[in-house]
């Protein structure tokens, strides 16, 4: 069984399978500060900071595999001037430390291929497998082969918890979310999406082992997040249900466990609604 560990107090996971160690981070959104520049707010490039934070984590955790779980860059389809310069440098340095580096594509990663060194493996949004863990960004469906995994890991949501204090202040903290996942419902959703008849036989043939889903916080800590404990009134589904997996009904997000980056267990999403 693959061991899944938080790399406290960082928005990163370490997967261990025998002698293989996979360091996982997601939602870097390199070049995000360009949006501020457009509004007249000039912030120096944050990419060197993000790169140095990742290099430090690599030194600390000594991974054999580096897995970047989508939304590596910020501009969705085009490539900005800043990205042309910074992203190749970013990957060259990471790749020098961890020769086995892969980039799983997210919804912001249009034209990323042209920016990566040839030695970095590009994985489509349908995801990759490390031991018994399936990894995909979360904006699109995973490949059916990921149903054989015990755990799934995604990003995309940038989960945070919102806390209102009695003074009226509202703070948010980045969190890891660990949700129970009904593998059978997930398998049916994926198969029906593929146009397969979900008769009993087919479902058995595609028997799903998935029992838990991890949603990772964004590695870029300057970004805002989505408060998963926010109570939304008058809406059928809160917008925490982003991405097809969360909408498929295979997991009830209210039952999910919430952890701060330092590993502190806060409770379930349902319990934390009282704080929002």
Say if residues 214 and 178 touch (Cβ distance below 8 Å): yes
Encoded tokens for 241: 């249900």
Give the nearest distance from C-beta 173 to Mn ion in angstroms: 20
Sequence-separated (6 or more) residues with CB below 8 Å from residue 42: 36
Q: Which is nearer to Mn ion, 108 or 178 (CB)?
A: 108
Say if residues 243 and 139 touch (Cβ distance below 8 Å): yes
Q: Applying CB under 5 A, which of residues 22, 31, 106, 131 lies at the interface with Mn ion?
A: 106
Q: Applying CB under 5 A, which of residues 2, 45, 107, 196 lies at the interface with Mn ion?
A: 107
Encoded tokens for 155: 């990003």
Length of the chain: 276
Q: Which helix (H) or strand (E) holds 58?
A: helix 47-61
Give the nearest distance from C-beta 265 to Mn ion in angstroms: 26
Give the nearest distance from C-beta 40 to Mn ion in angstroms: 26
Among residue numbers 171 through 200, which ones bind Mn ion (CB under 5 A)?
Answer: none
DSSP state of 30: B
Q: Which helix (H) or strand (E) holds 82?
A: helix 81-97
Query: Which residue is listed with tokens 């979310």?
Result: 177
Q: Which is nearer to Mn ion, 107 or 252 (CB)?
A: 107
Per-residue contact flags (x/-) with Mn ion for residues 202 to 231, judged by CB under 5 A = ------------------------------
Query: Which residue is listed with tokens 């293989």?
Result: 20
| Binding piece for Mn ion, criterion CB under 5 A, among 34-42, 79-87, 107-115, 176-184 | 107-115
Nearest residue to 90 via CA among 234, 219, 187? 219
Q: Which is nearer to Mn ion, 156 or 226 (CB)?
A: 156
| Binding piece for Mn ion, criterion CB under 5 A, among 149-157, 188-196, 205-213, 237-245 | 149-157
Say if residues 185 and 250 touch (Cβ distance below 8 Å): yes
Q: Which is nearer to Mn ion, 31 or 183 (CB)?
A: 31
| Binding piece for Mn ion, criterion CB under 5 A, among 58-66, 82-90, 98-106, 112-120 | 98-106
Give the nearest distance from C-beta 82 to Mn ion in angstroms: 19
Among residue numbers 108 through 127, which ones bind Mn ion (CB under 5 A)?
Answer: none
Q: Which is nearer to Mn ion, 10 or 73 (CB)?
A: 73
| Binding piece for Mn ion, criterion CB under 5 A, among 74-82, 83-91, 103-111, 207-215 | 103-111
The verdict on 156 binding Mn ion (CB under 5 A) reads yes
Sequence-separated (6 or more) residues with CB below 8 Å from residue 220: 27, 28, 29, 30, 32, 46, 50
Q: Which is nearer to Mn ion, 73 or 156 (CB)?
A: 156
Encoded tokens for 226: 């989505």
Q: Applying CB under 5 A, which of residues 4, 12, 65, 71 lies at the interface with Mn ion?
A: 71
Report the C-alpha gap between 208 and 211 in whole angstroms: 9
Q: Which residues bind Mn ion (CB under 5 A)?
A: 71, 106-107, 156
């Amino acid at each position: 069984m693959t061991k899944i560990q938080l790399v406290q107090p960082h928005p990163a996971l370490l997967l261990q399978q025998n002698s293989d160690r996979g360091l996982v981070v997601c939602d870097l959104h390199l070049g995000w500060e360009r949006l501020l520049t457009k509004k007249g707010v000039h912030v120096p490039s944050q990419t060197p900071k993000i790169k140095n934070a990742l290099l430090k984590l690599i030194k600390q955790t000594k991974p054999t595999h580096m897995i970047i779980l989508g939304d590596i860059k910020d501009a969705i389809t085009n490539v900005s001037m800043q990205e042309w310069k910074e992203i190749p440098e970013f990957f060259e340095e990471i790749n020098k430390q961890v020769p086995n580096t892969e980039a799983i594509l997210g919804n912001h990663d249009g034209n990323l291929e042209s920016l990566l060194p040839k030695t970095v493996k590009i994985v489509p949004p349908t995801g990759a497998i490390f031991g018994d863990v399936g990894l995909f960004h979360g904006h699109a469906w995973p490949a059916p082969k990921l149903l054989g995994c015990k755990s799934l890991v995604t990003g995309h949501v940038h989960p945070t918890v919102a806390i209102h204090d009695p003074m009226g202040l509202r703070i948010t903290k980045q969190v890891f979310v660990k949700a129970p996942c009904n593998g059978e419902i997930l398998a049916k959703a994926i198969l029906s999406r593929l146009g397969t008849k979900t008769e009993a036989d087919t479902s058995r043939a595609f028997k799903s082992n998935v029992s838990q889903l991890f949603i990772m916080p964004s590695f870029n800590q300057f970004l805002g997040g989505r408060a998963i404990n926010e109570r939304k009134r008058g809406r059928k589904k809160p917008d925490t249900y982003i991405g097809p997996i969360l909408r498929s009904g295979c997991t009830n997000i209210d039952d999910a466990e919430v952890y701060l980056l330092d590993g502190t267990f806060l409770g379930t999403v349902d319990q934390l609604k009282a704080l929002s």
